[in-house]
C-alpha cells in the first residue's frame, strides 16, 4: 500500500466501499475482490480494502468498536498501544495540563488518538510514510491533531518548553521493520540499544523538555530509569505489556510502580510507598498457611511483591516469584489473586499422582513459577488431562518454597 491508496481509503468513496464490504473471510476473499473489480475498483485498491477489512476485524480485540473507524497496517496494529493502555498514557498528559504533545514515532496513532480525545493537541511524526498517513487519517476526528512523515531525530525541542505547556511522547519501535520472525511477525528487538528512536535520544529529549514519557519493554532492568523518574509496569488481563518511564510533571510517585488493568474493573496502582521494603519470606514448607496470594505480573516485574506481603500480612514463598503465603484472608486487593490452600507438599510426581488419585481428580489446572518443566510431559506422568471429565477438577501451583521445589494444591476464591 502507498500513501495515495491511504488517501483514497479515507475519501468518501473509499470509506463507503469499506463500510459496505462483508466481514472478511479467507474463503470468500477472491469472490469479494472479483465483485470490487466488476465495480471498476483497481486491483491495488481492492487488495487494500480487503486488507483493511481483515485488520479491522483483528483490531477489535485492541480497540473495540473504535476499530471500525480506523485504518491500519499489520505492523502498526501489532505495535499500537491497546485502547485501555493508551488511555492510561493520555491521562498523565491531560492531568499535567499539557496543551501540546509531540508524539515522536506515532505509529498508526493509538496513543495520539487517546491524547486528542482528552483535549491534548498532538503533533505526530513517523518515519514510515504509509504509517504516518494512516495516523493522520485516524486523527481526523480531532482537527488540531495531525501526523506527518518525519524522523524523530530531526525534531527540534521548543526553546521554552516550561512556558509552552509542551510534552513529548516516545514509543520507540521494538521491532525490526521488514524482518520477519518464525511466526511471520516483524522480529522483536530485546536490547535497549536496539530500539528506534534510541534510548540515548529519549534521554536527550528528557533533558530538553520536562514532560516526557517513553514506553519501553517490560523487561527493562530496574537500574535504567534515571533518578527522579517513575517507571511504571502495566499489565492487561495478567500479561505485562510495557514499562513506561515518566519524567517531570508526568511523574505521580518517583520510583517503581505497577498499574493493573482488567476488563470491567477500575485500574489499580501500586507504588513503592505501599510495599514492605524487605518482604518477609517463608523459611520452610511447614510455614505455608491457609491462603496463597499470586501477585499480578506487573507487580512482580516492578519488584513490588512487598505490597502484597504488606496488604496480606504474608510472606513470600521464594524471593521474586510472586507467591505469598498468609494466615489472613484479605478480600480482593486488586493486584493479587487469592487461593485457599488445601495441601502443601514437596514436589514429587509419585506423591502428587497418589494425592490426585485418592481424591478422584481427573482434570488439572497447572500454574507454575520458578520451576522449569514441560507441562505436557507432567500431565502424561500424572496421567491427567485439562478438563475434569467425570471426576473432580483441581488446581496445583508448582513453585519453590525456601529454595525447595514444592506443590500447593489450591482453590481459587
Ligand atoms: C511502537 S510504534 C508506535 C505505536 C504508537 N504509540 C501507537 O500506539 O500506535 C513505533 C513507531 O516508531 C516509528 N519509528 C521508529 N524509529 C523512528 C524514528 N527514528 N523517527 C520516527 N519514527 C520512528 C516506527 O515506524 C513505528 O511506527
**Per-residue pLDDT tens digits for 115-147:** 999 999 999 999 999 999 999 999 999 999 999
Instruction: Please tell me the distance between residue 67's alpha carbon and the centre of ligand 1 in angstroms.
Output: 19
In this structure, the residue with its CA closest to atom 13 of ligand 1 is: 105
Give the separation between CA 29 and CA 288, rounded to whole angstroms: 57
List the grid coordinates of 106.
Answer: 506515532
Residue 244 clears pLDDT 80, i.e. is over it: yes
pLDDT given at position 23: 86
> Does residue 384 carry a pLDDT above 90?
no
User: What pLDDT was estimated at residue 126?
Assistant: 98
Cell of 182: 518464525
pTM: 0.92
Give dist(CA 369, CA 305) in Å, integer: 14
Residues 203-226, mean pLDDT to the nearest whole number: 96
Q: Is the dihedral of CA 10, 13, 16, 21 positive or negative?
A: negative
CA dist 232 and 348 (Å) reads 38
Testing ligand 1's pocket by substitution, the residue of 104, 105, 213 carrying the most ligand atoms inside 8 A of its CB is 105
What average pLDDT score do residues 239-252 get? 97
Mean pLDDT of 14-34: 89
Whether 84 lines ligand 1, by a CB cut-off of 6 Å, is no
**DSSP class per residue in 169-187:** EE--B-EEEEEE-TTSSEE
Structural domains in the chain (count): 3
Say what percent of the chain tops pLDDT 70. 96
The pLDDT score that the predictor gives to residue 25 is 84
Phi-psi region of 402 (alpha: psi -120 to 50; beta: other; left: phi over 0): left
Find the length of the chain. 413
Query: Is residue 73 lining ligand 1, measured as CB closer than 6 Å?
Result: no
- For 256-266, write each residue's pLDDT tens digit: 999 999 999 99
Say what percent of the chain tops pLDDT 90. Answer: 83
Q: Do the domain assignments include residue 82?
A: yes
Q: Is residue 70 part of a domain?
A: no
Which residues are CB-neighbours of 381 under 8 A, at least 6 positions away?
349, 353
User: No. of H helices and E strands in the chain?
Assistant: 14, 18
Question: Is pLDDT of 41 > 70?
Answer: yes
Ligand 1 near 325 CB (within 6 A): no
Whether cis (ω within 30° of 0) applies to the bond prior to 197 is yes
Q: What is the pLDDT of residues 337-370, one digit of tens each?
A: 999 999 999 999 999 999 999 999 989 999 999 9
Q: Which atom of ligand 1 lies closest to the CA of 174? A: 1
CA dist 228 and 161 (Å) reads: 19
Both 117 and 228 in one domain: the answer is yes
| 265 and 116 housed in the same domain | yes
Whether residue 395 is contained in a domain is answered as yes
- Domain end, chosen from 270, 293, 326, is at 270
DSSP strand pairing (315-316 vs 323-326): antiparallel
pLDDT higher at 50 or 177 = 50
| Confidence category of residue 75, pLDDT binned at 50, 70, 90 | very high
The answer to whether residues 228 and 266 belong to one domain is: yes
Contact 408, 288 (CB under 8 A): yes
Residues 227 and 84 in one domain: yes
Please indicate, yes or no, if residue 280 is contained in any of the structural domains.
no
pLDDT digits (tens, 9 = 90+) for 142-177: 999 999 999 999 999 888 877 779 999 999 998 666
Tell me, what's the pLDDT at 181?
64
Enter the C-alpha cell of residue 322.
510472586
The SS3 of residue 31 is: helix
Residue with cell 488439572: 364
Q: To test the ligand 1 pocket, which listed residue (104, 149, 196) has its Cβ within 8 A of the most ligand atoms?
A: 196
Binned at pLDDT 50, 70 and 90, residue 26 comes out as confident
User: Which has the closest alpha carbon to 172: 244, 120, 240?
Assistant: 244
Ligand 1: does its nearest atom lie under 6 Å from the Cβ of 213?
no
**Residue 16's pLDDT is what?**
94
Q: Whose CA is nearest to atom 23 of ligand 1?
A: 105
Ligand 1: distance of its center to the CA of 126 in Å? 6
Which domain-ending residue is among 244, 270, 296? 270
Residue 390 lies in a domain: yes
Structure confidence at residue 182 (pLDDT): 62
Residue 275 domain-assigned (yes or no)? no
Rounded to 10 degrees, the C-alpha dihedral 81/265/274/111 comes to 20
Mean pLDDT of 39-48: 94
CB-ligand 1 contact for 126 (6 Å cutoff): yes
Dist. CA 309–CA 14, nearest whole Å? 56
The answer to whether residue 65 is domain-embedded is no
pLDDT at 186 over 80: no
User: What average pLDDT does this structure show over 181-208?
Assistant: 84
- In this prediction, residues 189-213 reach a mean pLDDT of 92
Judged by average pLDDT, the poorest of 175-189, 219-233, 379-393 is: 175-189
How far is residue 59's CA from residue 50's CA, in Å, rounded to a whole number?
A: 14
Range of the domain at 7: 3-58
**What is the distance in A from the centroid of ligand 1 to the CA of 86?**
14
80 CA distance to ligand 1 middle (Å): 9
Using alpha carbons, select from 15, 45, 46, 11 the residue that is nearest to residue 30.
46
Query: From ligand 1's centre to the CA of 203, what distance in Å?
Result: 17
Is 296 a pocket residue for ligand 1 (Cβ < 6 Å)?
A: no
Q: Give 172 Cα–ligand 1 centroid separation in angstroms.
A: 6
CB atoms within 10 A of CB 350: 9
Question: Does one domain contain both 342 and 200?
Answer: no
User: Do 241 and 291 belong to one domain?
Assistant: no
Q: 77 alpha carbon to ligand 1 midpoint, in Å?
A: 12
- pLDDT confidence tier of residue 193, bands split at 50, 70 and 90: confident
Model pLDDT for residues 269-290, shown as the tens digit of each residue = 999 999 998 999 999 999 999 9
Please indicate whether residue 81, judged by its CB atom, sits closer than 6 Å to ligand 1.
yes
The answer to whether the CB of 30 falls within 8 A of the CB of 38 is no
Tell me the CA–centroid distance for residue 204 and ligand 1, in Å. 17
Tell me 315's DSSP state. Answer: E
**Above 80 in pLDDT, residue 179?**
no
Which one has a higher pLDDT value, 351 or 391?
351
Q: What pLDDT was estimated at residue 388?
A: 62
**Which range is least confidently modeled, 87-101, 165-179, 294-308?**
165-179
Indicate whether 112 and 243 sit together in one domain: yes
Amino acid at each position: 500500500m502507498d500513501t495515495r491508496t491511504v488517501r483514497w481509503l479515507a475519501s468518501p468513496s473509499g470509506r463507503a466501499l469499506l463500510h459496505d464490504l462483508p466481514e472478511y473471510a479467507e474463503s470468500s476473499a477472491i469472490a469479494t475482490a472479483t465483485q470490487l473489480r466488476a465495480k471498476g475498483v483497481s486491483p491495488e485498491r481492492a487488495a487494500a480494502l480487503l486488507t483493511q477489512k481483515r485488520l479491522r476485524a483483528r483490531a477489535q480485540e485492541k480497540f473495540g468498536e473504535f476499530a471500525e473507524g480506523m485504518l491500519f497496517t499489520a505492523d502498526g496494529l501489532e505495535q499500537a498501544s491497546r485502547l485501555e493502555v493508551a488511555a492510561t498514557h493520555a491521562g498523565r498528559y491531560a492531568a499535567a495540563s499539557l496543551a501540546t504533545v509531540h508524539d515522536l514515532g506515532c505509529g498508526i496513532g493509538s496513543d495520539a488518538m487517546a491524547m486528542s480525545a482528552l483535549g491534548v493537541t498532538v503533533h505526530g511524526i513517523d518515519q514510515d510514510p504509509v504509517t504516518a498517513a494512516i495516523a493522520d487519517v485516524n486523527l481526523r476526528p480531532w482537527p488540531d491533531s495531525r501526523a506527518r512523515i518525519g524522523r524523530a531525530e530531526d525534531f527540534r525541542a521548543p526553546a521554552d518548553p516550561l512556558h509552552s505547556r509542551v510534552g513529548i511522547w516516545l514509543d520507540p519501535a521494538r521491532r525490526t521493520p521488514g524482518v520477519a520472525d518464525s511466526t511471520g511477525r516483524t522480529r522483536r528487538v530485546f536490547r535497549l540499544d536496539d530500539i528506534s528512536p534510541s534510548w540515548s535520544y529519549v534521554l536527550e529529549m528528557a533533558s530538553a523538555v520536562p514532560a516526557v514519557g517513553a514506553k519501553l519493554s517490560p523487561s527493562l532492568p530496574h537500574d535504567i530509569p534515571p533518578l527522579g523518574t517513575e517507571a511504571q509496569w502495566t499489565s492487561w488481563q495478567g500479561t505485562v505489556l510495557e514499562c513506561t518511564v515518566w519524567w517531570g510533571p508526568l511523574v505521580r510517585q518517583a520510583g517503581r510502580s505497577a498499574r493493573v488493568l482488567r476488563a470491567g474493573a477500575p485500574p489499580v496502582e501500586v507504588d513503592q510507598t505501599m510495599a514492605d521494603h524487605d518482604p518477609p519470606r517463608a523459611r520452610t514448607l511447614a510455614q505455608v498457611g491457609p491462603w496463597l496470594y499470586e501477585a499480578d505480573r506487573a507487580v512482580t516485574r516492578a519488584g513490588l511483591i512487598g505490597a502484597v506481603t504488606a496488604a496480606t500480612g504474608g510472606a513470600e514463598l521464594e524471593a521474586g516469584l510472586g507467591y505469598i503465603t498468609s494466615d489472613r484472608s484479605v478480600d480482593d486487593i486488586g493486584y493479587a489473586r487469592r487461593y485457599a490452600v488445601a495441601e502443601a507438599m514437596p514436589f514429587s510426581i509419585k506423591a502428587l499422582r497418589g494425592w490426585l488419585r485418592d481424591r478422584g481428580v481427573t482434570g488439572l489446572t497447572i500454574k507454575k513459577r520458578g520451576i522449569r518443566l514441560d507441562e505436557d510431559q507432567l500431565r502424561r506422568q500424572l496421567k491427567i488431562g485439562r478438563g475434569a471429565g467425570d471426576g473432580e477438577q483441581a488446581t496445583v501451583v508448582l513453585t519453590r518454597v525456601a529454595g525447595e521445589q514444592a506443590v500447593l494444591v489450591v482453590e481459587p476464591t
